[in-house]
Structure 1
């Protein structure tokens, strides 16, 4: 989730959740081997064994369309200490798709195969190469062909967002269709899409036949969602969420991304509105504020 789930958010959410793995925001690959500073900027966890401060592994995600350049950059990431590579074929954003990145490649299973094969060959054999797809481009019709192409190319895990590119993020997610992928592949398949609470996670697992769940927007709407799914924890109270927002504010302001803080906190409140009615009122209070100190004072006064 570009611009949202950065290393500060990964730090915060892995403190309170039993995540098995985090994936970085995507690193866009076009036609060059990117310098180390790009990888360190989007994955500063490389400096600490590719783990968050609480010890959760982080996998570097690449997005692009050229097999050789993706392979070059996968190799670069591994030389810098990455413990695995994730390939993004799921992003539905127009700015990404118009350059044949993300979900735009779901109409070309041969290219998916070529990318997977090239990256797998570039990454040391003991490290995983995973991929994320959707069920298709315009329709939900190419998921088996695409899944098999990636598996034959050598990916070791496949996460499936159970909608097409055209579906975007509109409900519902078509979890039962992922069962076809699960039955066809020998590699682990991970279900993703429209999982906002523990009951939906259980239903998604049941309908898809997948054991593992990938969380995106739901992890921002309910900050301890993974704990509620995996350990049966109670959902965080609004008071606990406010404490978390204040902790996040401190991380943002003290870190190297303070310039983005006003926009980031407003983005997060927009997600929190999906689970906490109180977030609507708080968002209204900070929506027009532009200065960090004013926003932090408003949060502290709640």
Structure 2
């Protein structure tokens, strides 16, 4: 069973990837999407999204980081993929799942699922451009506003030469509202020869087991569940329904996160509070800490509080 950390814009950034892969048991993770328009991006943009390229394409703990692109220009996607590989990307992923309105309005992400022929063209352009030993994959949803082209898109990705496809078990219209329709992944898995990785609403070990049962998929991509519960992959691998990391362990993780290379203090404050708010749904201690720090506006005060709390 492979477990993968999902790409989530504004959430699984390089700092979060570093923290989660330091304690989680991930086979690989994927960058936030890099938007491609009409040019080959400068190297500093690749390093901004994926500083792990400077570390042999891996996080500090050794987890490979795949570079994800979003766009609709086959030539530019291919050219940027070539550059990413030259900089050390171990694999390229294509985004056909983003449901954001601003992205979809510019004909990117999940809106392309209404055009399976375009999905095929884009994946094939990248597959043909990069060396054969570099895997190319894609992430899709069940569809845009409906599931009419679900199998057509899956076949388009496979026929274009992708090594695997990850499927978020909802349409764009479904957004992130529960439930995820895991059972809808089974016909995709049965129709394809390449591997199908299941994604969506995996918050617990029980969810992971149920998703694998309903979808028939062996491998799972985990998003918000891994951020909310940093030891979730360990729980899944050890078939544990109880937490394996202590709150003291998680406090040490939070200190590591805050000490990461943030652009601005106010940006890190927002990112940390976002994460703590998510963890408060699972850990009572996080809820108590959230009540104490939510009005703090100086990062050093939060650091001092965390350091004073660690046993």
**TM-based fold match above 0.5:** yes
- Structure 1 partner of 2:292: 285
2:279 to 269, 272, 279: 272
Residue 150 of structure 1 corresponds to which residue in structure 2?
157
State the shift of 1:15 in Å: 1.4
Using the TM superposition, name which of 236-245 and 171-180 deviates more. Answer: 236-245
In the TM superposition, 1:60-75 aligns within 5 A as 60-75=67-82
Equivalent of residue 238 in structure 1, options 230, 247, 258: 247
* Structure 1 segment 35-54 matched on structure 2, within 5 A: 35-54=42-61
Over the residues paired in the alignment, what is the CA RMSD in angstroms? 1.4
| 288-297 or 221-230: bigger deviation | 288-297
Question: Contact between 2:74 and 2:121, CA under 8 Å: does it hold in 1?
Answer: yes
TM-superposed deviation, 1:270? 2.2
Matching residue of 1:187: 194
Of 286-295 and 105-114, deviating more is 286-295
TM-score by length of 1: 0.95
8 Å CA contact 1:29, 1:70 repeated in 2? yes
Which string of whole-angstrom CA distances, capped at 9 and with x for unpartnered residues, describes residues 242-275 of structure 1?
222122122x2xx253432101101101221221
Number of equivalences: 299
The alpha-carbon deviation at position 218 of structure 1 amounts to 0.5
What does residue 257 of structure 1 align with? 263
CA distance in 2, matches of 1:256, 1:221: 20
TM-score, scaled relative to structure 2: 0.92
Unaligned runs of 5+ residues in structure 2 are 1-7
SS in 2 for 1:132: strand
User: Match for residue 247 of structure 1?
Assistant: 256
Task: Tell me the equivalent position of 1:76.
Answer: 83
Q: SS where residue 155 of structure 1 aligns? A: coil
Does residue 295 of the first structure (1) align with residue 294 of the second (2)? no
Is 1:219 equivalent to 2:226 in the alignment? yes
Q: Does the alignment pair 1:87 with 2:103? A: no
Structure 2 contact 262–268 (Cα < 8 Å) conserved: no
Q: Distance in 1 between matches of 2:88 and 2:181?
A: 36
1:169-201 Cα offsets, whole Å, 9 max, x none, are: 100000000001000000010000000011110
TM-fit CA distance, 1:282:
2.3
Q: Which SS does the other structure have where 1:162 is aligned? A: strand
Q: 1:229 aligns with which of 231, 236, 239?
A: 236
8 A Cα contact 1:285 1:298, kept in partner: no
2:32 to 17, 25, 31: 25
Alpha-carbon distance, 1:95 to partner = 1.9
Of 61-70 and 268-277, deviating more is 268-277
Gapped runs of 5+ residues in structure 1?
Answer: none
Alpha-carbon spacing, 1:73–1:280, altered in 2? closer, same or farther (3 Å): same
Of 3, 13, 18 in structure 2, the residue corresponding to residue 6 of structure 1 is 13
> Which residue among 165, 172, 193 is the counterpart of 1:165?
172
Q: Which stretch has the larger CA shift, 235-244 or 199-208?
A: 235-244
Alpha-carbon distance, 1:99 to partner = 1.0
Alignment pair present for 1:126 and 2:133: yes
Q: Higher relative CO (CA 8 A, sep ≥ 6), structure 1 or 2?
A: 2
Superposed displacement of residue 301, structure 1: 4.3
Cα deviation for residue 281 of structure 1 reads 3.1
Distance 2:102 2:54 in 1: 31
